[in-house]
Amino acid sequence: MESVVLALASNERYFPGLYCALASALSHMARERTVDVRVFDGGISQTSKNILSRLGGRFGNSVRLEFMSMDAAIFRGATLGPGGSHIAYCRILLPRVLDVRRLIYLDCDVLVFRDLSELFDLKLSSGKILAAVRDSETLSLGDDSRIVTDAMKRPAQGAYFNSGVMLMNLDELRKQNFLERALEFLETWSGRYRFFDQSAINFLLYDRIDALPEYWNRASWQFDEQDGNDLGCVLHYTRSAPWLRETPGPAQALFEQFAWHAGLAVNRRTTEFKHSQHQWCWRNALAPLRAAGFFMASILYKISGRRKKAADYQSAARYWFDYVRKAPSRRRIHRRRIAEIRNMQFDAARSEM
């Protein structure tokens, strides 16, 4: 059978995420499949590379690991990504730097609890050259950039996809000159798009993306809202890197439990991690005041005739009222689920509940 090709990217700051993403992906891969792992090196230390190589070595000859350098100068006209880096643009380089037919791209802030060989073997629908899951927060092209949507004559309500987990047909992307078109897009609209190469992928490949089931890219906040701990998904930490900052809930507990079993426990004593804990304390303490404040502001804007502002503040007030109202049941469910998660056992070589 064809080797499953996985592509990821990381720097040293995100290495704990990369390690856990790869450990979970390999642990759940079909035993008979070989895996070709390519990692874009955005500044990974040699020590960390050695740790990742040892992880791959646990799977014997079934895993091949290669680090690839990235020339950031090619993106000099693009908006700088998170942390003032261009590493966020690595996905659009894949058709040029990898001479393979197709691959799965994974962000390094995911945990994989499904067999990725099923996704790799998926037949794309006619006319589609990429498969991804609809984004859980940016629902449409217009939500990313109305200016770009109008200029490119795309429908404002057009489907918008999260690029954290993708099945990519590289042969077809090469035929479409996707890299060159993406570089032109990023330079032309620099400062206008919100999500770096995810924006380029969505605007340039509109109508060419196959929609995958949600379980191939489930946002961590959606996992937190589940009633139970169903792990039949690829879990994507879309709002916070759980090894750097705490976002209290089952998803955070799950990452820490998996990381500990995988041999790279989360350091909860860092200044950044402790700061995030303080922020969450203040968030909960101020929630009732925010609910009341946004409600009063919506009334004042309504009286002054500014209906759009009034609607926006009313929506914010409703969010905080619901946050306060549901807090007791949310805490009760989270306590139960976190207790279950802390009893889970994972094997970094072949992870099983």
Domain ranges of the chain: 4-216, 244-353
Edge-first strand listing for the sheet containing 110-112: 110-112, 234-236, 218-219
**pLDDT on residue 76:** 67
**pLDDT on residue 336:** 97
- Report the distance separating Cα 291 and Cα 301, nearest Å: 16
**pLDDT on residue 204:** 96
pTM: 0.91
How distant, in Å, are the alpha carbons of 121, 253, 263, 283, 303 from that of 270? 41, 17, 18, 20, 48
Question: What does the pLDDT profile of the chain (353 residues) look like in tens digits?
Answer: 899 999 999 999 999 999 999 999 999 999 899 999 999 998 999 999 999 999 999 888 899 999 998 766 677 666 666 655 667 778 888 998 899 999 999 999 999 999 999 999 999 999 999 999 999 999 999 999 999 999 999 999 999 999 999 999 999 999 999 999 999 998 899 888 888 889 999 999 999 999 999 999 999 999 999 999 999 999 999 998 999 999 999 999 999 999 999 999 999 999 999 999 999 999 999 999 999 999 999 999 999 999 999 999 999 999 999 999 999 999 999 999 999 999 999 986 543 33
Residue 27 exposed, middle or buried by CB count within 10 Å (0-12, 13-18, 19+): buried
| Among 69, 56, 49, 53, CA closest to 26 | 56
How distant, in Å, are the alpha carbons of 6, 11, 226, 238, 329 from that of 257? 24, 23, 18, 18, 23
Identify the H or E element spanning 165: strand 161-169
Identify the H or E element spanning 54: helix 46-57
- What's the topology of domain 4-216? Spore Coat Polysaccharide Biosynthesis Protein SpsA; Chain A (3.90.550)
CB-hemisphere CA count at 13 Å for 270?
12
**pLDDT on residue 350:** 44
**pLDDT on residue 78:** 64
**pLDDT on residue 72:** 66
**pLDDT on residue 1:** 82
The rounded Cα 284 to chain-centroid distance in angstroms is 25
